[in-house]
Amino acid sequence: MFNKAKFALLMVLVTVSTSIAFAEADESKIPEPFRGERKGSPIQITYNDWTKILRSTVVDAGESDRSSASAPKPEIGTRTVRGNTSSTRNEGNRIVFEAYTDEKNIAIVRKIRAELEALPGEVPMREWTKNEQLAYWLNLYNITLIDLIAQEFPTRSLKKLAQGKDSLWNKKVLKVSDVNLSLNDIHDILVYKWDSTIVMYGLFQGYVGGPSIRRTAYTGETVHRALVDNAKEFVNSNRGMRLKGSTLLISEYYKDNKALFPNWKEDLKKHFISLTEYGMHDRIRAAKKIKATTDDYFIADLYGGSTRHGTALATNRAALNDAFIRVNSGQSAGNASMGIGSFTMETYADFGKDPVEMRFPPHVRDYIYQMRKNKALKKGEVDVEEIDDGSSEPSEPPQ
């Protein structure tokens, strides 16, 4: 029995046979320790601590209504416009990055990250199901990226950090099964091993123009449904894909994943049709051009990449000015408290009883109003194509 209960990373093992079911995809470009799978494997990994931290620090924006944000107005009494000025600035989930700059908080995050790095060395990946492997890589990627961005915080734009040979994504900051890996290496493993367009939506990029960070960790049981949900949210937002006349304007993030769309124009059209409502299908098919020009590298931080010091929050009691996200010093990592004061991030995001005008600075308010509007809309179900690996549907959808 292998038990990492302290950090809620529980793996239940039984005696395994020597026969291993390998993936049908060509895995020759993947490091040997990460090849293969065992269908029906009893190995399960839970990520309860990571989910608890995400629930405490991530704000769910709901699905976009495709409205473009108007030009922001200067703050009262100034000529200054703070925060993101992009027309897509009110879309996508937000994370409170300041929480991860607290030494006690980030120490817990890094312990969980270290445990994840060590797991394939304890139990080889070839003994895991493909679902467990997929959830593992997505969680490791996201927790590592959040850690790296926290080290750069406060910062508003991630463009310089995301581009060039010295980008955060190119740094060999991980070691899994004695293989040094960067975030781009994990991306390549996912592309080569799964060869599915859906996997790209599980990789949080840290900026508004990428897929949203979820409020729950990925698990082997729910990873497919969770990825489809993320794909739907992104494609049905202006930052992901929108129509302008006969042109499809899409995120530059698709260029980073061009290997998943070998027949670029036709594959993208089919992909978008599978994730959008019927009323858009004819226009997507008729599109004459596809331009990957939409970008928004502004950090996906609730407070716009700045600390709460110096904002309206710092001078207003209703803003919970003493409520820095923290971990109680006497608690173990398995019982981390990441709440804001006497509130949890969930109740904070739902705004409680206090007026939004009293609790948030101006550059955050329009995002909050849009989020409330999105959540008030009732969206219909959209049929989509999921990853086909022969597995059954998850017993319950992710939250």
Q: What is the pLDDT of residue 387?
A: 37
* 90-128 pLDDT per residue, tens: 788 999 898 899 898 899 999 999 999 999 999 999 999
Query: Has this prediction a pTM greater than 0.85?
Result: no
* 165-221 pLDDT per residue, tens: 889 999 999 999 999 999 999 999 999 999 899 999 999 999 999 999 999 999 999
User: C-alpha angle 56/307/145, rounded to 5°?
Assistant: 55
Say if 277 falls within a structural domain.
Answer: no
Say if 370 falls within a structural domain.
Answer: no
Say if 80 falls within a structural domain.
Answer: yes
Q: Mean pLDDT across the stretch 373-394?
A: 46
Q: What is the pLDDT of residue 71?
A: 57
For residue 21, the 8-state DSSP code is B
* 21-62 pLDDT per residue, tens: 333 567 999 999 999 999 999 999 999 999 999 998 998 887
Say if 264 falls within a structural domain.
Answer: no
Which two structure tokens, joined as six digits, stand for 315?
């001078």
Which of 365 and 155 is assigned the larger pLDDT? 155
Largest CA distance in the chain: 72
Say if 78 falls within a structural domain.
Answer: yes
Helices (H) and strands (E) in the chain, counts: 12, 9
Q: What is the pLDDT of residue 248?
A: 97
Say if 209 falls within a structural domain.
Answer: yes
Across the chain, mean pLDDT equals 76
Say if 233 falls within a structural domain.
Answer: yes
Which two structure tokens, joined as six digits, stand for 13?
């093992």
Q: Are 53 and 338 in contact (CB under 8 A)?
A: yes
* 285-326 pLDDT per residue, tens: 999 999 999 889 999 998 887 775 434 333 222 222 222 222
* 221-262 pLDDT per residue, tens: 999 999 999 999 999 999 999 999 999 999 999 999 999 999
Say if 65 falls within a structural domain.
Answer: yes
Q: What is the band of 376 on the pLDDT scale with cuts at 50, 70, 90?
A: low
| Number of structural domains found in the chain | 1
Residues spanned by the domain of 182:
2-239+296-302
Q: How far apart are CA 11 and CA 13, in angstroms?
A: 6
